[in-house]
Chain A
Amino acid sequence: MAVMKDTARKRKIPRNVLNEWKWAYIMIAPTIIGLFILNIIPILQTVYLSFFKSGAFGKGNIFIGLKNYRDMFSDVQTWYAVRNTLVYTGLVVPITMAIALLAAVVLNRRVRGKGIYRTIYFVPMVAAPAAVTMVWRWLYNYQFGFLNHILHNLGIGKVKWTEGPDIALVSIAVIGIWSTIGYCMVILLAGLQEIPGDFYEASEIDGASRVNQFLHITLPLVSPTLFFVAVTSIISSMQVFDVIFMMIDVANPAYNRTVSLVYLFYNNSFKYSNKGYGSAIVVLLLVIIMMITMLQMKAQKKWVSYM
């Protein structure tokens, strides 16, 4: 990239370089133009709106400078939400990725019935949210729930799975892990498919053990996919909303220990018609995610191997 710029400055750009530029721009044009219209403009509008006291129905916005940000930072709930969002991500992403990687590696081998397992592990992704919520509500129900029923029979006291301030976020994270394993597994499986079989055959001749194969062939070669899964899982975990929204009401005693940034944004923007303040929360979330993603981009050079 830097080399390119230098050559361009020094002399007339060679025809083949120009040709490459032309093709590159043609190939990215639909995506970039589409993203610009569909997403980037709305994002910029959101950033803009965060400096306003929003009027109703997009009219009558009043410029208030940084007031939304000052209000946001002085509200302790914002910090709860930041903490909860980070804790949730910290719980969900590593566990999900570890389980999904193991499952993908195992199901990429000649295991009997792997087609069936692959299908079943994908089921939570397809199942209707209403069914999923209903099942988890029943599992976690304090009075009649399945988990407390088992604990009771074991002679242990009941646990407030979704109302206990200390445990509610963990309960929510379990749902998060359970419902995203399928996603990570399918993408990792696709990544494993791209690893040429020769590599394994060669190492088998050398007498490498399975663990060695995993560490020295599978892991490095699947690392671009693993990197993708890590970046996208963190981004989507940072945006957690649906599960918390469906399981935790505002009146729940664990609300402050589970509320996420997107939940706060949703309430302010859509329920309280305070779009300006909601936009400020989105900007905060965006900044946090950008920092994390940038760190990952920097760190990938250390562990991701591109061929």
Chain B
Amino acid sequence: MKSKKIRTGIILHIVLAAGAIIMLFPFLWMVLTSLKSVTESTSMNPYVYFPKVLQWDNYKAVWMNNNFIRLYFNTFTMMLLRVLCAVFFSAMAAYAFARLHFPGKNFLFGIVLFQMMVPVQIFVIPQYLMVDFLNMRNTIFALVFPGLVSAFGTFLLRQFFLGLPKELEESARLDGCNIWKTFWRIMLPLTKSGLVALAIFTALFAFKDLMWPLIVNNQENSATLSSALSKIQSAYSVKYPELMASSVLAIWPMMLLYIIFQRQFIEGIATSGGKL
């Protein structure tokens, strides 16, 4: 019995490790390329896996050419505001959709789903016109604008609220909690994992959003990391090492944030027993 357990454990780790290598590949590639010379980066015949000389100058060049401090600041302010808006508004709406009864519920929830069904590209020009009309171009507000509310978040959290036992809520109501208090004090804390997942994805989607920041903010001091990256890429002849160096500079804070956030999942079954 025990040896069987060990054997499955080993197999499990082999499979997990193989998956990890495949998943990690582009990241390793990015780091390696960022340290190559321009010639090495596009050389395929023979293939250059490791740079002969580590070209730290690539990092120096992109750091000097771009105001990274500004880019980090803009990107993270945008991410933070989008996360706050999405989590707060979505949680409220999701709770109402999951737990409250009111006329027009199905229709209004249909609208939420409807938003997710169309390609985002159709929103770009109308939303640009709105921001332009508000005279808010080249501001952080413009960056946050399309993320003020989140259909994705509403749908996600609704599923989480639906998964919670009804009895909890009923006993809270009997104890004299009003609807808002039941939501805020009792139900919301129970969906912590869902909120964390939503925060991670809102931040990630905001971070990766490319077309919008490019189009609405065309001044350098209101650019984001992703739009700055795409500008580096816009050259007739892309310098891949510099592009990858700036990618590395752009994503390490994202990785760090994820590592911190995903700790929220770590406790696992062992401790979540005490929740009820």
**A–B proximity contact (CB within 8 A):** yes
Q: Are A42 and B156 in contact (CB under 8 A)?
A: no
Give the A-B contact count at a CB cut-off of 8 A: 297
Please give, as numbers and ranges, the residues of chain B lying within 8 Å of A106 by CB-CB distance.
12, 16
A33 smallest CB distance to B (angstroms):
8
A14-44 toward B: CB 8 Å interface, digit per residue (1/0)? 0001011101110110111011111111110
Picked from A36, A130, A193, A286, the residue with its CB within 8 Å of the CB of B229 is A130
Q: Which residues of A contact B250 (CB under 8 A)?
A: 128
User: How would you classify the secondary structure of chain A's contact residues: helix, strand, loop or mixed?
Assistant: helix
Asked whether any CB of chain A lies closer than 8 Å to the CB of B106, the reply is yes
Task: Scan B194-234; emit 1 where CB is below 8 A from any A CB, else 0.
Answer: 10110011001001101000000000000000000100010
Can you list, as one digit per residue, whether each of A111-148 has a CB less than 8 Å from chain B (1) or not (0)? 11011111111111111111110110010010110100
Q: Which of B90, B166, B251, B266 contacts A115 (CB 8 A)?
A: B266
Residues 118-170 of B at the A interface (beta carbon under 8 Å) = 118-123, 125-127, 130, 145-146, 148-152, 154-156, 159-160, 162-166
Residues of A within 8 A of B95 (CB): 27
- Residues of A within 8 Å of B, CB-based: how many? 103
Residue A197 interfacial (CB < 8 Å): yes
Tell me whether A43 and B118 are in contact in the complex, defined as CB-CB below 8 angstroms, given that A110-B270, A141-B44 are known contacts: yes
* Nearest chain B residue, comparing its CB with the CB of A23: B179
How many B residues touch the partner, as a band? Answer: 35 or more
Question: Any chain A CB within 8 A of the CB of B27?
Answer: yes
* A46 contacts across to B, CB distance below 8 A: 118, 122
* In contact, A191 and B163 (Cβ under 8 angstroms): yes
Whether A39 touches B102, Cβ cut-off 8 Å, given contacts A135-B26, A269-B121, is no
Using A32-B111, A187-B156 as known contacts, say yes or no to A197 and B24 having CB atoms under 8 A apart.
Answer: no
Stretch binding the partner chain, chosen from B52-60, B70-78, B254-262 = B254-262
- Tell yes or no: B114 within 8 A of A by CB: yes
The verdict on A186 contacting B200 (CB below 8 Å), with A23-B100, A27-B92, A306-B162 known, is yes
| Closest B residue, CB atoms, query A281 | B119
Stretch at the interface among A87-95, A154-162, A225-233: A225-233
Residues in B whose Cβ lies below 8 Å from that of A239? 119-120
B66 interface contact, C-beta 8 A:
no
Residues of chain B within 8 A (CB-CB) of A40 are 111, 114-115
Contact B163 A27 (CB under 8 A): no
Determine the distance from Cα of A123 to Cα of B24 in the docked complex, in whole angstroms: 6
The answer, yes or no, to whether B29 is at the interface (CB within 8 Å) is: yes
* Interchain CA distance A131-B25 in the complex, whole Å: 10
A52 interface residue, CB < 8 Å from B? no
Q: Is A69 at the interface (CB under 8 A from chain B)?
A: no
Closest Cβ of chain A: how far from B210's Cβ, in Å?
A: 8
- Verify if A295 is at the interface (C-beta below 8 Å from B): no
Q: For residue B208, which residues in chain A have a CB less than 8 angstroms away from its CB?
A: 129
1/0 per position for A144-187, CB-CB distance to B under 8 A?
A: 10100000000000000000000000000000001001110011
Residues of chain A within 8 A (CB-CB) of B145 are: 38
Which of A31, A189, A224, A241 is within 8 Å of B154, CB to CB?
A31
Indicate whether A138 sits within 8 Å of B163 (C-beta atoms), given known contacts A128-B250, A262-B119: no
Q: Does B33 contact A (CB under 8 A)?
A: yes
Residue A38 contacts which of B13, B30, B149, B152 (CB distance < 8 angstroms)? Answer: B149
**Within 8 Å of chain A (Cβ to Cβ): is B64?**
no
Closest to B233 in A: A130
Q: Does B180 contact A (CB under 8 A)?
A: yes
B112 contacts the other chain (CB 8 A) = yes
Q: Are B16's CB and A117's CB within 8 A?
A: yes
- Asked if B151 and A35 sit within 8 Å, CB to CB, the answer is yes
Q: Closest approach, in angstroms, between the C-beta of B109 and any C-beta of chain A?
A: 9
Residues of A within 8 A of B265 (CB): 108, 118, 189-190, 193
With known contacts A34-B148, A119-B255, A43–B114 Cβ distance under 8 A:
yes
Which A residues have a C-beta under 8 Å from some C-beta of B?
A: 1, 4-5, 8, 17, 19-21, 23-25, 27-28, 30-32, 34-43, 45-46, 58, 103, 106, 108-112, 114-132, 134-135, 138, 141, 143-144, 146, 178, 181-183, 186-187, 189-191, 193-198, 200-201, 221, 224-225, 227-228, 231-232, 235, 239, 241, 262, 265-266, 269-270, 279, 282, 285-286, 289-290, 293, 306-307
Query: Could you write out 6 A-B pairs with CB less than 8 Å apart?
Result: A31-B151, A43-B118, A138-B44, A187-B201, A193-B268, A197-B273
Not counting A34-B148, A225-B163, A290-B117, a sample of 17 additional A-B residue pairs whose C-beta atoms are within 8 angstroms of each other reads A1-B105, A35-B112, A38-B146, A120-B23, A126-B207, A127-B30, A128-B247, A129-B208, A131-B247, A134-B33, A135-B25, A191-B193, A194-B164, A225-B160, A231-B155, A239-B119, A270-B121
* 9 interchain residue pairs of minimum CB distance: A197-B273, A34-B149, A144-B44, A128-B247, A193-B193, A190-B197, A31-B93, A190-B193, A42-B126
